[in-house]
Structures are given as C-alpha cells and as structure tokens.
Amino acid sequence: MNILVTFVQKKKNKINLQKNSSGEKLDSMRIYNSDFTQVLTSYTNNGDPLSDSGLLGSCVVNDKIYALGIRDVFEFDLELNLLNKRSNIGDWLHDIEYHDGKLYCVNSYEGLITVLDLDLNIVENIKTKFLQNGAQAAHINSIAFDSNNHPYIVSHNYDREGYVYKLNDDLAFPICRNLNKPHDIRFVDNGYLICDSSNNSIIYNGLPIESSWKTDVESFCRGLGVSENYYYVGSSKRETEDECEVLKIYKMNKKGRVEEIFNIDSLKTLGEIYSITVLQPSKYNSKFSK
C-alpha cells in the first residue's frame, strides 16, 4: 500500500511559491510508502508566483491519477508522469471525485460542479442551489457519493461557518451544521467522516448515533485518506515565515484512536497538505470504502 499526498503552496504562508529555501522547486504531489519513510515519486506544478500554487483535490481511477490545480485538471499515470491536462475548467477548483464513469470537480466560488469524462472533456455544469440564503455556499470544497449514489458537498462561508449538504438534483439540503471551515467528506461503514478543519478535529457521524466519535489533532486538518482498516488525516499549521512547522499525518483506527503520527516535512518546504489518497488496487475507483 502506498499513499498519495498533494500540497498547496499559499501566499499567506509567506513561502516562495516557486522554490524552497534551498532553491529547489516545490513538490506539488508525492507518493509515499505506507510508513512515510520514503518518497517513491513526486511531481512539481509551479504556477503563477503571485497566486496560490500546487495541487489540490485528487482521486484515482484504475491506473490513472487525476488532480486539480487552481484552474486546471491533470491526468497522471501511477508513476506521476503527466498524461493529459485540461486548462481553465474553473476559477477556483478544489476537489475531484470519480463516480459512475465521470469526474466531478468542485468549482468553489462559483457554486458549480463541473462534470468531466475520463478524457477531461466537459459533460455538464451543475449550478448548486442552496435552500437557505446561500451565504454559507461561499466556498464549496469537497464532494463525495454515498452507497446509494447520492452526492454530498461540504462548504463554509466567509465567517468559516461550515455545513454538509446532501444534493437532490441541483438542490442542496443541509444535514450537518456548526462546523468550522470543514473539508473532506468520506463515506465509510454506516456513516461519514469529515475534517472539522479549523476546530482541529476529525468527526465520524454514524448510525446508530452512539457510534459517532470525534478525535482532535494538533492543528488545522485537511486531507483524509481511507484504507480498509485505517484513516489518514493531514495536519498543517498555518504560521508566519518565522515558523517552520512540521507537516503531520495521523493514522487512526476505525474507532478514531490515533495509532501513529508521521512527521513528513515542513510547511516552508512543501506548503500545506491538501489531499490524501490511499493507493490500494481494490480501492482505486472511489473514495467510498465499503
């Protein structure tokens, strides 16, 4: 089992978006071995030095990896060789999910879900309609499908108030509130996982309700990978250039107990962790774990 991690380099972290302190280009995506002691391969996507850079959401379909830049969609093989690219899909892409032969891309600030085929051609754009006043829809950043093929999205407003929505056609119904800048929804067993990012917590909402749990991590959490027996959660401190905080990945069992913490690098070297995908052949086709 190997683990794919993407990184986003943000202006506010005050790191050089093109190069690290040693003058080397910043990795945007890495594949690690299972205990994060070795980088097996990596890819660098340095964009406009005046804006955020790196890669955001990712998913794996059979022997292909799909990942998002701020405006572009990239297709790679499992060695991270670039195979295809579709530019200007949106203004602020965040997450990508595979479902039923198509790729679903979240275009955050436009409230759009852009659907692509596997050759990266646009199939349709779905404009999301929120049943409340819409302020909470300011930043849609994650999408996933449950075992009944219903899509769900995660968003927060400019005050960081976060929600999980179930989509019915293009209508969004809130099912979870009172989150703080949440990211990453994954359906597992009889419930779903979500990163309550600015509360530094990973939450499992399950049925029966007594099975639900919450586990705190050290800092802002984003990036959530699912394997057969474990969950992997990314943690990235958001500090000034005077800080050189270590990026961490928490390995949790299915009860939410932390079993290992991996220190993988510094924010100044890589930026923030954005997505985590566990590369298991039997799990390639979906973030949904049966």
pLDDT digits (tens, 9 = 90+) for 217-234: 999 999 999 999 999 999
- Determine the pLDDT at residue 230: 96
Dist CA 194 CA 210 (whole Å): 17
Structure tokens at 183: 């990211």
- Cβ 110 vs Cβ 70: under 8 Å: no
How confident is the prediction for the chain on average, in pLDDT? 84
Confidence of residue 240 (pLDDT cuts 50, 70, 90): very low
Confidence of residue 25 (pLDDT cuts 50, 70, 90): low
User: Which CATH homologous superfamily contains domain 2-283?
Assistant: YVTN repeat-like/Quinoprotein amine dehydrogenase (2.130.10.10)
The H or E element that residue 267 is part of is helix 267-270
Instruction: Give the position of tokens 């959530």.
Output: 224
> What average pLDDT does the segment 272-281 reach?
88
- The candidate with the shortest Cα–Cα distance to 280, out of 31, 55, 27, is 31
pLDDT higher than 70, residue 200: yes
- Determine the pLDDT at residue 157: 78
Instruction: Give the position of tokens 């999408």.
Output: 143
**Candidate from 46-55, 181-190, 206-215, 240-249 with smallest mean pLDDT:** 46-55
- Determine the pLDDT at residue 212: 93
Dist CA 24 CA 27 (whole Å): 9
- Determine the pLDDT at residue 283: 42
- Determine the pLDDT at residue 51: 45
**Candidate from 18-27, 40-49, 154-163 with smallest mean pLDDT:** 18-27
Higher per-residue confidence, 200 vs 50: 200
Q: What is the CA radius of gyration of the chain?
A: 17
pLDDT digits (tens, 9 = 90+) for 94-144: 999 999 999 999 988 777 899 999 999 999 998 887 755 444 456 889 999
Query: Structural domain boundaries of the chain?
Result: 2-283
- Determine the pLDDT at residue 49: 46
Dist CA 277 CA 31 (whole Å): 9
- Cβ 276 vs Cβ 223: under 8 Å: yes
Structure tokens at 83: 């195979």
Query: Which of 52-61, 101-110, 170-179, 246-255 is predicted most confidently?
Result: 246-255
Q: What percent of the chain has pLDDT over 90?
A: 56
Q: Is 198 helix (H, G, I), strand (E, B) or coil?
A: helix
Per DSSP, helices labelled H in the chain are: 267-270
- Cβ 222 vs Cβ 195: under 8 Å: yes
pLDDT higher than 50, residue 287: no
pLDDT digits (tens, 9 = 90+) for 56-107: 999 999 899 999 998 899 999 999 999 999 998 888 899 999 999 999 999 8
Beta strands 161-168 and 171-180 are: antiparallel
Dist CA 130 CA 264 (whole Å): 39
Higher per-residue confidence, 267 vs 5: 5
pLDDT higher than 60, residue 36: yes
Q: Provide φ and ψ at 209, rounded to 5°.
A: -60, -25
Q: Provide φ and ψ at 135, rounded to 5°.
A: -60, -35
Residues 6+ apart with CB under 8 A from 226: 186, 188, 193, 232, 278, 283, 287, 289
- Cβ 133 vs Cβ 146: under 8 Å: no
In degrees, to the nearest 5, what angle opens at C-alpha 19 toward C-alphas 265 and 217? 25
Question: Hey, how many other C-beta atoms are within 10 angstroms of the C-beta on 138?
Answer: 15
6-17 in b/e form (b: 16+ CB < 10 A) is bbbbbeebebeb
- Determine the pLDDT at residue 48: 47
Confidence of residue 289 (pLDDT cuts 50, 70, 90): very low
pTM, full prediction: 0.89
